[in-house]
Amino acid sequence: MKAVAVGFAALFAIGCSEGSGGAGGTDLASDVAATIDVPAEAAPDAPADVAPEVAPDAAPEILADLPPPDPPGDPAPDAPACPRPKPWCAHGCGSDWIEEPACDAGRWTCPDGTVLMSDCPPGTCWGMPLPGEVCDGGWKCRPDPEDFSPCPPLMCAVCDGFEGPQTADGCTCECKGSQVECHAAPADEIRLAPATLSFYGLPIGSVRFAVSGRDPEKHACATIVWDFSNTDHALRAHCHDFSDHFPYVIVKTGTDADCGWDYGTDLAVTKADGCVDFAAFGPASLDLVDVDLEVAGAGFAGRIVADNRATYSPTPVNLGIRYSTDVPEDVFVQSSDSFGLPAWVKVRPKGGEPLHLFPLCSSPVCGEEPGGVCDEAFHKVENITGTSYRGSVWLTWDGRAWAMDPDAGCWVSAPALPGDHVAEFCFGWKVSDGPAGQDVVDPFCHEVPFTLPTEEVVYHADFGG
């Protein structure tokens, strides 16, 4: 076998890429072999059978995922087995050159000139640093201004120590997942100031909702319109499911006025991601936008950012199910219960009882007028896949827990306590019709732990073969 030297950061990026590791993922060693072509002369002085390197600050976890190497030969029939998991040996603490140990009389033995990685001091920095990394009890991400030029796609393989997002020399870096990624700013960028944002439904025959705002520094405005009628999207929160005409964008430059709305636009939306919700949708919604768009056209080409999440306290949380399968099917969630509220997700503190995410209309909300109570609502379900291979459903929780004031006989709320929580997501494949409406039959439920504060909790339900 040829000796191979693979950079820690490169292997870390490969191992952490979407779809690698875990059930249904790819083999990490196969990822490396398929991604990096190393000629025989790449490491002329390295002895044979060198194992791929591992990510900094994640060596034990990455090593645990590596497949066991081929044994050097058939062991003697009476030779005692060595304990698992197998350790790995490095050419010095912090070295990015590791080798396999040998099993000798029931004990793992490192080759001459190497040490057990587990014997190295805590906080050892493995391999060479990426542009913004410094060694301080393990790799930390503390980029200097010169690290931003040229703009590196991967600034750091860890987020520890990074305060961001940070922008310098037209390069913006932010923590995504477990690493700091960067992108160069497009030719033009409009950031809608949160204080200028307005949320409204268009006064036309089709159902369309819009967010309008201005960038005072660029003397520009933008209106982002989501067309629900012509795209068959449900009237609720939406995250990461944007598509053609959902949304479309109107941009005007050289103005300090609002853009207003229109039935269409000459701009093409080339990239769109994020979350949007409108309070007009009902009690389980609020006016929230957190989107990042790229558009191209004769009037404007560049990036548009609209984000008002930070204007709320506590931070609103988007809860969602993203479902995928390898056969077209119908998947249902309980979109409305007896109180007209979504019942497909519950949130509770770790070890505690489920929270009331929204006030029940059986009693009034303290301090609000007019008060009153509601009749029992008609039960409803939503088909989130529509006999297709995938689908999603989302809602926006304002981060508050509701409770009855026993003396006043009305609902009061307070921010949910920070710390460990559990979200339980439920869906099913059958629906029953009854006097109260439609209900999901024998729902399947799955719990996802998370920690408040956070912005998004999602269950990726992959039911493919």
DSSP per-residue string spanning 417-462 = PSEEEEEEEEEBSEEEEETTEEEEES-EEEEEEEEES-SEEEEEEE
Structure tokens at 397: 């929780």
Domain count, the chain: 4
CA distance 240 to 150: 30
Looking at residue 230, the DSSP 8-state letter turns out to be: T
Quote the pLDDT of residue 397: 98
Q: Does some domain include residue 124?
A: no
417 shares a domain with 330:
yes
CA distance 459 to 251: 35
CA distance 62 to 14: 11
Per the model's pLDDT, the better-predicted residue between 178 and 225 turns out to be 225
435 shares a domain with 332:
yes
437 shares a domain with 359:
yes
Q: If pLDDT is split at 50, 70 and 90, which confidence band does 418 have?
A: very high
The residues facing 73 across adjacent strands are none
CA distance 212 to 221: 8
Residues in contact with 310: Cβ distance below 8 Å, sequence separation at least 6, in sequence order: 194
Lowest-confidence region among 346-355, 365-374, 382-391: 365-374
Per the model's pLDDT, the better-predicted residue between 7 and 299 turns out to be 299
Quote the pLDDT of residue 370: 62
Q: If pLDDT is split at 50, 70 and 90, which confidence band does 6 have?
A: very low
142 shares a domain with 217:
no
Quote the pLDDT of residue 450: 98
**330: domain range?**
317-462
CA distance 416 to 418: 6
Quote the pLDDT of residue 358: 95
436 shares a domain with 333:
yes
Q: Does some domain include residue 127?
A: no
The last residue of one of the domains, among 251, 285, 311, is 311
Q: If pLDDT is split at 50, 70 and 90, which confidence band does 57 have?
A: very low
Structure tokens at 148: 């931003």
Mean pLDDT value across the chain: 84
Quote the pLDDT of residue 258: 93
Q: Does some domain include residue 104?
A: yes
254 shares a domain with 178:
no
Residues in contact with 317: Cβ distance below 8 Å, sequence separation at least 6, in sequence order: 396, 397, 399, 452, 454, 455, 456, 457
Q: What value does the mean pLDDT take over residues 153-167?
A: 89
267 shares a domain with 199:
yes
383 shares a domain with 257:
no
Q: Is the pLDDT of residue 312 over 60?
A: yes
CA distance 292 to 286: 19
The last residue of one of the domains, among 311, 339, 360, is 311
159 shares a domain with 204:
no
448 shares a domain with 358:
yes
The residues facing 116 across adjacent strands are 89
Q: What value does the mean pLDDT take over residues 237-265?
A: 93
146 shares a domain with 162:
yes
Percent of the chain with pLDDT over 90: 62
Structure tokens at 42: 């790449």
Q: If pLDDT is split at 50, 70 and 90, which confidence band does 121 have?
A: very high
Q: Which of 46-50, 54-58, 151-155, 428-432 has the highest mean pLDDT?
A: 428-432
CA distance 123 to 117: 12
Q: What value does the mean pLDDT take over residues 292-302?
A: 89
Q: What value does the mean pLDDT take over residues 255-266?
A: 92
Quote the pLDDT of residue 156: 93
Q: If pLDDT is split at 50, 70 and 90, which confidence band does 75 have?
A: low
* N-term to C-term CA, the chain: 35
Per the model's pLDDT, the better-predicted residue between 180 and 24 turns out to be 180
Q: Is the pLDDT of residue 34 over 50?
A: no
Nearest 5°: CA angle at 65, between 61 and 68?
A: 125
Looking at residue 227, the DSSP 8-state letter turns out to be: E
212 shares a domain with 225:
yes
Q: Phi/psi at 367 (nearest 5 deg)?
A: 85, -5
Q: Is the pLDDT of residue 16 over 90?
A: no
Lowest-confidence region among 132-141, 294-303, 362-371: 362-371
The residues facing 458 across adjacent strands are 320
CA distance 319 to 421: 13
Q: What is the pTM of this model?
A: 0.61
pLDDT digits (tens, 9 = 90+) for 313-337: 999 999 999 999 999 999 999 999 9
Q: Does some domain include residue 125?
A: no
Lowest-confidence region among 27-31, 151-155, 232-236, 297-301: 27-31
Q: Does some domain include residue 128?
A: no
Q: Does some domain include residue 212?
A: yes
Q: Does some domain include residue 322?
A: yes
